[in-house]
Amino acid sequence: MQSWTSPAIPALPGRGHRPRLHDTASGERVDPVTGGVGALYVCGITPYDSTHLGHAFTYLAFDTLNRVWRDAGVDVRYVQNITDIDDPLLERAEATGVDWRDLASDQIDLFRSDMSTLRVLPPDHYIGVVEAMDLLVTAVETMLAAGAAYRVEQDVYADLSADERFGSLSHLDPEAMATLFAERGGDPDRPGKRDPLDPLLWRGQRPGEPHWDGHGLGPGRPGWHIECGAIAAEYLGLPVSVQGGGQDLIFPHHDMGTSHLRFLPASGTHGDQSTQGTSQEPIRCFVHTGLVAYQGHKMSKSLGNLVFISRLVAQGVDPRAIRLALLDHTYRDSWEFAHAHLETAGARLARWRRVVPDRDEPGAANASGGPSSSQGPNAVTHLERVRAALADDLDTPAALAAVDAWASQGGADNPALLVDAVDALLGVDLRS
Ligand code: 5CA
Ligand code: ZN
């Protein structure tokens, strides 16, 4: 799938630091980069009701990671999926009388346009389930052959009992797992399953439902968790440095997907080595973002309390202010959106923009000895403070505060460096 156009990223002097990231599975701070490569898999949208502020908050968190890694010289490989066939999408299409393909393609277009507007760096591979069908069929066949899956009539389920490490991410007790599984798309009551928690890998064709050639599996469509596991293994290889998404994906989605990955080849469909039987886990670090609420509840499609990026922009809100409003929250915290956040962010944007060197005065950008340069830290010190904040588990509020201090000094001895740093690290272009 076509992604979107990348904004330019100015190069900064020196080098940033590789961030230490809170890993949900271990609860520890880790640097998951190996061999200079940062392999990033971020769960993409199910294309309806996009793009709301909750989605944007999540994708901006990973955009920050992407930018901070690049500044640290990491070779970033970024993959994102699109759940362009799944029950909720079909239900919405049915309820609104729209063809599911049209719904998906319109919403994917909107998401791409919103991501460009917010200056989010695009993934290198942007993969829809529909285009990854053969890959997913192969993954399910591999699991069947490994004895990690079984058939129930025309469907295929994963056998969680084959994976003694299942649950290593969420560490939830069986009751909590049962509750979340039922709430988040699972089918605990399906007769014939070996365990109520076993997740669907392949749903055999049902009358009136879209279906694809499943080769030996028969016609049908894939389950949800196998989608992200198989796409990550294929396009990044294992282990993946970071798998990310909102906290609502910890269980069952990421625990199940990781379990599936333990039976898949470490280099996608091309390899023959799985991580099963080794101490190597398929995902080195799980990063989960807090959930954005509005009007007292998590912003969610099912509740309908959504604030759309495209609507805010149509109302005249500067996308840079949206970005700053979101970045003013640490990515792991859940928070409730209020329109006042946009006003605060707009005021901050205006203060920062005053620092922009006047384009009509050549040389002003690099002028040393600005108005306040004799007092306070120089620009290089300010840059280091911004970088240090971001290396500390992507502490964006601290990074914004560090830019505030820099801007209050008029950019210190190098306003152009402030402009470049804000662009490269925070994705905000102060020039326009
Ligand atoms: N397609 C699946 C992932 S494979 C999915 O969860 N799609 S989604 O459209 O429902 O969500 C896309 C991403 O936005 C997920 O990472 C999800 O955790 C995140 N997200 C959804 N709602 C919120 C919210 N209110 N706050 C923060 N992140 C959210
Ligand atoms: Zn996913």
The pLDDT value given to residue 303? 85
- Which ligand is nearest to the Cα of residue 247, counting in written order? 1
| 417 Cα: distance to centroid of ligand 2 (angstroms) | 37
Evaluate whether 284 touches 239 at the Cβ level (below 8 Å). Answer: yes
CA dihedral angle for residue 275, residue 268, residue 89, residue 244, rounded to 10 degrees: 50
pLDDT for 279 equals 63
Residues linked to residue 82 through DSSP beta bridges, in sequence order? 128
Burial 131-149 (b: 16+ CB within 10 A, else e): ebbebbbbbbbbbbeeebb
What are 384's two structure tokens?
A: 């280091």
Q: How far is the CA of 358 from the centre of ligand 2 (A)?
A: 45
Measured distance CA(24)–CA(75) in Å, rounded = 23
Q: Which ligand is nearest to the CA of 335?
A: 1
Q: Tell how far the Cα of 87 is from the centroid of ligand 2, in angstroms.
A: 14
Question: Which residues, 6+ apart, have CB-to-CB distance to 27 below 8 Å?
Answer: none
Q: Give the pLDDT confidence score for residue 276 in this predicted structure.
A: 54
| Cβ atoms 15, 6 nearer than 8 A | no
Distance 400 CA to ligand 1 centre (A): 25
Pairing of strands 283-289, 21-22: unpaired
**Sign, CA torsion 201/98/131/275:** negative
What local confidence, expressed as pLDDT, does residue 368 receive? 46
> Whose CA is closest to 80, among 57, 58, 106?
58
Pairing mode, strands 292-294 and 335-336: parallel
Measured by CA distance, the residue closest to atom 3 of ligand 1 is 43
Q: Which pairing describes strands 200-204 and 220-222: parallel, antiparallel, or unpaired? A: antiparallel
Rounded to the nearest angstrom, the distance between the alpha carbon of 381 and the centre of ligand 1 is 37
Could you tell which of 110, 243, 248, 335 is best to mutate to test the pocket of ligand 1, judged by most ligand atoms within 8 Å of the CB?
Answer: 248
pLDDT score, position 367 = 45
Residue 308 makes CB contacts below 8 A (sequence gap 6+) with 51, 52, 53
Ligand 1 atom with least separation from CA of 245: 16
159, two tokens: 């056998």
Point out the ligand nearest to the CA of residue 305. Answer: 1
Output b/e per residue, 41-61; b: 16+ Cβ within 10 A: bbbbbbbbbbbbbbbbbbbbb
Which residue CA neighbors atom 23 of ligand 1 most closely? 54
According to the model, what pLDDT value does residue 365 have?
A: 45
Closest Cα to atom 7 of ligand 1 = 45
Atom of ligand 1 nearest to the CA of 58: 28
Fold assignment, 21-292: Rossmann fold (3.40.50)
Among the listed residues 123, 137, 136, 132, the one whose alpha carbon sits nearest the alpha carbon of residue 38: 123
Atom in ligand 1 nearest the alpha carbon of residue 83: 1
Which residue has the least CA distance to atom 9 on ligand 1?
A: 45
246 DSSP β-pair partners? 289
Residue type, 110: L
Rounded distance from Cα 370 to ligand 2 centre (Å): 49
Query: Which ligand 1 atom minimizes the distance to the CA of 45?
Result: 9
Q: Domain-by-domain residue ranges, the chain?
A: 21-292
Ligand 1: residue of 1, 43, 57, 301 to mutate (most ligand atoms within 8 A of CB) is: 43
pLDDT digits (tens, 9 = 90+) for 88-143: 999 999 999 999 999 999 999 999 999 999 999 999 999 999 999 999 999 999 99
Ligand index nearest the alpha carbon of residue 260: 2
Dist CA 137 CA 217 (whole Å): 7
Query: In whole angstroms, what separates CA 320 from the centre of its chain?
Result: 19
Question: What lines the ligand 1 site, CB under 6 Å?
Answer: 43-46, 54-55, 57-58, 81, 83, 228, 245-246, 248-249, 289, 291-292, 298-300
Q: What is the pLDDT of residue 357?
A: 85
Q: What pLDDT shows up at residue 363? A: 44
Peptide linkage before 51 cis (omega within 30 of 0): yes
Please tell me the predicted confidence (pLDDT) of residue 275. Answer: 58
CA of 224 to the centre of ligand 1 (A): 13
Which ligand lies nearest to the CA atom of residue 228 in the structure? 2
**Closest C-alpha to ligand 1, atom 4:** 43
> Could you count the other beta carbons within 10 Å of the beta carbon of residue 407?
21
Integer Cα distance of 338 and 370 in angstroms: 37
* Distance from C-alpha of 248 to C-alpha of 354, rounded to nearest angstrom: 40
Would you say 25 and 169 are in contact if contact means Cβ atoms under 8 Å apart? yes
Query: Mean pLDDT, 10 residues at a time, over the chain (432 residues)?
Result: 97 98 98 98 96 97 99 98 96 96 98 98 98 98 98 98 98 98 97 98 97 98 98 97 98 98 84 60 98 93 90 98 98 98 98 87 47 76 98 99 98 97 98 92
Whether the CB-CB separation of 407 and 347 falls below 8 Å is answered with: no
Give the Å distance between the CA of 225 and the centre of ligand 2: 6
Residue-wise burial string across 62-97, b where 16 or more C-beta atoms lie within 10 A, e elsewhere: bbbbbbbbbbbebebbbbbbbbbbbbebbebbeeee
CA of 89 to the centre of ligand 1 (A): 14
- Residue partners of 369: CB distance under 8 A and separation at least 6: 413
Of the bound ligands, which one is closest to the alpha carbon of residue 230?
Answer: 2
- Mapped onto helix, strand or coil, the DSSP state of residue 199 is coil
Locate 95 and state its tokens.
Answer: 């309820």
> Looking up tokens 């069986």, which residue turns up?
174
In angstroms, how far is the first alpha carbon of the chain from the final one?
A: 30
Question: What is the three-class DSSP state of 419?
Answer: helix
For residue 296, the SS3 value is coil
Distance from Cα 355 to the centre of ligand 1, integer Å: 36
Distance CA 225, CA 41 (A): 13
